Amino acid sequence: MRELLRIFDPIPLQPPSRRIYRRLGYRQGVTRLSPEDKRDMERWIAEAGALVHLKGAAKRLPVIRKNEAEVTIADGPTWRSRDLAAFVGAGDEIVLLGATAGAEIAEAVRRDANVQMLKRGVVLDAVGSEMADAALDWIAAFCNRTLRREGKSLSRRRYSAGYGDFSLSGQADIHRLLEMERWGVHITDSFMLVPEKSVTAVAVVGP
């Protein structure tokens, strides 16, 4: 996988119901739902799952230079970020990760908001977010299995552009290196990913 782009299309996941309920503020054993509300929730989660089309990518790259204030990786970018440098630490390789829930779920959320189907729209929004995050977890687990054959592992923690002092502009570098346009994810002039339910992250390869 080293320096090679790996694209995953599709990613075979079902909606993670517990995570979705938790995102919506429901607490197991505490929050009570009427049978009607429960049926509505389950129906909307299923409908949202049918609108999600998970794709993603990963790329393993060497860190070619770093100090306490910046990190430079192969293929070009130097990221000036003390927080990212501290996160990378002694690591000499990183893995870039990206995933998307696709355009259809994002369009459905906007459509529901426009026609005042707000409760359903909130559920669809939560499903899209949680499934994009779950796809990133799935890709990280795949990479981890590959790394274990070398006696290495991928950090459980991840760091994303826009966190701490790691500028959101770093997302443009990740977008380019993961060739996200190839699998349907665009980036705006303000470094936001489109479709909305798309995520990127940096993980560190360690012993």
Residues 90/8, Cβ–Cβ less than 8 Å? no
pTM of the model: 0.94
Confidence at residue 117, expressed as pLDDT on a 0 to 100 scale: 81
- Name the DSSP letter for residue 180: G
Produce one character per residue of 100-111: b if its CB has 16 or more CB atoms within 10 Å, e if not: bbbbebbebbee
pLDDT at 3: 65
CA distance 186 to 34: 41
- How high is the mean pLDDT in each 10-residue block of the chain (207 residues)? 84 96 87 90 96 98 96 92 97 97 96 82 96 98 96 97 98 97 98 97 96
Domain 5-206: CATH architecture, name and number where available = 3-Layer(aba) Sandwich (3.40)
Q: What is the pLDDT of residue 114?
A: 76
State how far the alpha carbon of 102 is from the alpha carbons of 30, 96, 107, 146, 167, in Å: 33, 19, 9, 26, 25
Domain ranges of the chain: 5-206
